[in-house]
Structure 1
């Protein structure tokens, strides 16, 4: 894919939701696992709303370091309000430059793909979806595709309930 920082920003704008409930968090987490298929065995998945962990799953082939990577990537997104992959591209992977620019410690922040902000239309960021266990770009695309699926599911649910 070789996305640019501007393309990733557009993806963020395109993935804004109208609502995001605890049930949506569960659906989003399950979407990640379903899309990942067999790769889900090596993934850690985390979905948060307002900082509260609403969905967590660690596959049988994961390691403890992945939990720390999720924490550090989520910190990046919470600090900047943008996906960790966007910030990875913006800072050209230079974690030290990111930390200096934001006066934060590297042990608490990771510039890597795989954490995507959950934003509500006209309200801003309300949560995050994060994965660990693939390449930076694969993790980003997995989050993006899972949110895209959630958007379709929400729309289909509204359409069917309006009948």
Structure 2
């Protein structure tokens, strides 16, 4: 239990760092393309989606994926939009509470997933405005793939908040 609590705290701190000054269609293309490049390099069978206000700005499905990955994408994105936190944090929270997202919150499990891979797209002075989502790997790997690319993108623009 202590390990899960620590990981949740780490994810909360991580989310505080992943804040964009602005986010445009071009930003989605760059981030989505970089996730795809890493997937190609590592031969990852993933589906990638980036939404802004529920508007899909980037989508890619790599070899080895199936229509079920589209369902996972939708359900993980719904979780981000509902709770304004990563779907991985929600997964860990559900593990901590030994519960399921549907039962705990009265949600339809066909529409929401507490499974890692969707990261909130946070805009400075606006909050959560979208989601960057990957499906196809283990939940922590989906999450880490997204976060790694976002961190690199923000670092290159010198807007990543330093660790506290």
**C-alpha separation in 2, matches of 1:111 and 1:10:** 19
Instruction: Note if 1:66 corresponds to 2:69.
Output: yes
Aligned to 2:162: none
Aligned to 1:38: 41
**C-alpha separation in 2, matches of 1:69 and 1:26:** 21
Instruction: Give the paired residue count.
Output: 156
TM-score (norm 1): 0.87
How far residue 121 of structure 1 moved from its aligned partner, in angstroms, is 1.8
TM-score (norm 2): 0.86
The question of whether the paired residues in 2 share the 8 Å contact of 1:28 and 1:147 is answered with: yes
Instruction: Note if 1:9 corresponds to 2:29.
Output: no
Alignment of 1:44-59 (within 5 A): 44-59=47-62
Instruction: Note if 1:92 corresponds to 2:84.
Output: no
The question of whether the paired residues in 1 share the 8 Å contact of 2:101 and 2:113 is answered with: no
Gaps of 5+ in 1: 157-163
Gaps of 5+ in 2: 160-164
The question of whether the paired residues in 2 share the 8 Å contact of 1:93 and 1:111 is answered with: no
Instruction: Note if 1:81 corresponds to 2:84.
Output: yes
RMSD after superposition: 2.2
1:123 alignment partner, one of 81, 101, 126: 126
**C-alpha separation in 2, matches of 1:154 and 1:49:** 20
More helix as a share of residues: 1
How far residue 100 of structure 1 moved from its aligned partner, in angstroms, is 2.5
